[in-house]
Chain A
Amino acid sequence: MKHMLIMRTTAEAAAAAQELDFEEIINAMGAYNESLMKAGVMVGGDGLAPEAGYLVEFTADAEPIVSDGPYGEVHELFNGFWILQTSTAEEAIEWAKRCPLGPGNTLEVRRVTDESDFEAFADNEYIQKEAGRRAELGAE
């Protein structure tokens, strides 16, 4: 199973991080990422740039509203993620606990959906499409 570790920081925590030696942060995070890779659980991940992005908002109108932001309005900033493949949720939590983050930061651990989540939709067109294709024999 895959889990996404969603990293969020607060304005206070981000300000506190400014006081720290950036190279130390890189070293600590680098060692953490290396331990994830060596354990074979790291499937993906990235950091998000600190500058403001854009917000695409869906409303009852046909055209979504695009604006700058969402800075200033949120208390927690989504600033990075990992995707880990583990055999249990507990293991993903255990890895999350080992992340070298300071006070004020959070990691949310969320399961990534897989094919088993769509078993209830066996009558869906896209899943049906395949049901018609029968078992055959042969070398791939």
Chain B
Amino acid sequence: MSLDVPRAVEAVWRIEGPRIIATLTKLSGDLGLAEDVAQEAMAEALVSWAQAGVPANTGAWLTAVAKRRMIDAWRRRERLDERHRAIARELSEATEDEWRPIDDDLLRLVFTACHPALSRESQVALTLRVVGGLTTTEIARMLLVPVATVQARITRAKKTLAAAHVPFEAPDPSEWRPRRAGVFGVVYLIFTEGYAATTGERWIRPDLADEALRLGRVLIGLVPREAEAHALVALMEFQRSRFAARESATGEPVLLADQDRARWDRAQIARGREVLRAADALAAARGKERGPYALQAAIAECHGIAADVEDTDWERIVILYEALARLAPNPVVELNRAVAVSMATGPATALRIVESLAAAGELRGSPLIPSVRGELLSRLGRRSEARAEFLAAAALTPNDAQRAVLERKAAAAQTEAT
């Protein structure tokens, strides 16, 4: 079989691209320029490899060509000062085999792509492009936006980085925690967009979730001693393991309680458990408690190993949600805790949690509180109150399928009430 050259170049790019861009950014201090010249090298590879065949060391070939294009660009911009001349001289003497990518440069690249100066949209696009090694076309397909939009987001990101004079560095120890959290947040955002897509026809997008998992595994390789990097991957493995059961044959979302657990990917659950054990061991070795991703992964693990809803260790889930609420107080976490409490202890206790959330004015305008309150009231036999809550939730939901479900529940509550 002879390989299609454009697809082979793309495959090489996915493997080598991020490290090539990292090398070039380290050299130039300019991510925008690095990305541009890397693109030019790809274009040259398309022509050259089709004629002369694929070189033995593809990464070194692409890096050498990109470096030459970088010098050309400096010349064009008449910015060939002494520093650049020195790099140019060094390049003309070096052989292609001397390219040794450095993991630290890739780590710097990750922090730069997820820099807080950038908008979330730009962070996502730039991370998929330079760290994930995806083409703008692939990113556009995955995010379900036009190619021009992805290109615009990447261009804007490069301009912002240049204007803010963002150095190509890993953050200082004092900034490490929030910046690390920022990187994990971008990867998890990519995953959740694949897990519960906010746009598009399908509400789960496995390809995007798989990209996020891949990025998460890359992070483990870069910061292997960070417990939360392992925990993030564990969480994504557990959630991804349920994809086949999360969508009905007609494409509708299936609730956890109703999922056919025989369709969960057991090998993936096993991988998640293994990675979570590694995260726990790392945290324990440093005398630390579980972080937010480890707690969420542990909750997902409780579901992953339970035969069904009744078999689920709800007491343990309640404890984990309590720990999560202490660490990162959040009304959605609190509401999830209430649902777990309703399973562990009963609907009356859970209702008190939901009432205090509502009294505090949390999640106003969202259908979440009234829909959970409707369920709890319904289980307590307070039918007419349940009906009112379901109707309130239905009025607040923008999604047609969800509204229909809530209206059905309201109607059912009324029937039983009379």
A118 to B15, CA, bound (A): 30
- Mark contacts of A91-117 with chain B using CB atoms, 8 A cut-off: 1 yes-contact digit, 0 otherwise: 101110000000000000000001100
A79 contacts the other chain (CB 8 A): no
* Cβ-defined partner of B3 (8 Å) among A93, A115, A137: A93
* Cβ-defined partner of B248 (8 Å) among A115, A130, A140: A130
Given the complex, which residues of A lie within 8 Å of B3, measured CB to CB? 90, 93
Given the complex, which residues of A lie within 8 Å of B214, measured CB to CB? 39-41, 85
A42 to B260, CA, bound (A): 27
B11 contacts A40, CB within 8 Å? no
Nearest chain B residue, comparing its CB with the CB of A139 = B336
A129 to B262, CA, bound (A): 11
Output the least CB separation between B57 and chain A (Å).
11
Output the least CB separation between B244 and chain A (Å).
5
Output the least CB separation between A102 and chain B (Å).
17
B371 contacts A138, CB within 8 Å? yes
A-side interface size class:
20 to 34
Output the least CB separation between B314 and chain A (Å).
13
Output the least CB separation between B268 and chain A (Å).
9
B256 contacts A135, CB within 8 Å? no
B103 contacts A38, CB within 8 Å? yes
B-side interface size class:
35 or more
Q: Which one of B36-44, B160-168, B216-224, B279-287 is at the A interface? A: B216-224
B14 contacts the other chain (CB 8 A): yes
Nearest chain A residue, comparing its CB with the CB of B103 = A38
A42 to B367, CA, bound (A): 41
* Cβ-defined partner of A122 (8 Å) among B210, B249, B267: B249
Known contacts A88-B10, A133-B248: does B218 contact A139 (CB below 8 Å)? no
Given the complex, which residues of B lie within 8 Å of A41, measured CB to CB? 214, 217
Known contacts A94-B12, A137-B367: does B7 contact A126 (CB below 8 Å)? no
Interface residues in B248-275 by Cβ distance below 8 A to A read 248-250, 252-256, 258-260, 262-263, 267, 271
B102 contacts the other chain (CB 8 A): no
A139 contacts B372, CB within 8 Å? yes
B109 contacts the other chain (CB 8 A): no
A63 contacts the other chain (CB 8 A): no
B234 contacts the other chain (CB 8 A): no
- Mark contacts of B185-222 with chain A using CB atoms, 8 A cut-off: 1 yes-contact digit, 0 otherwise: 00000000000000000000011001101111110111
B330 contacts the other chain (CB 8 A): no
Known contacts A86-B14, A87-B211, A90-B8: does B218 contact A130 (CB below 8 Å)? no
A91 to B222, CA, bound (A): 21
Given the complex, which residues of B lie within 8 Å of A56, measured CB to CB? none
Known contacts A39-B15, A93-B3: does B375 contact A138 (CB below 8 Å)? yes
Can you list 21 A-B pairs, Cβ within 8 angstroms, ordered by A?
A40-B215, A40-B217, A40-B218, A85-B214, A86-B11, A87-B211, A91-B11, A115-B243, A126-B262, A131-B248, A133-B248, A133-B258, A133-B259, A135-B248, A135-B253, A136-B253, A137-B397, A138-B255, A138-B339, A139-B332, A140-B303
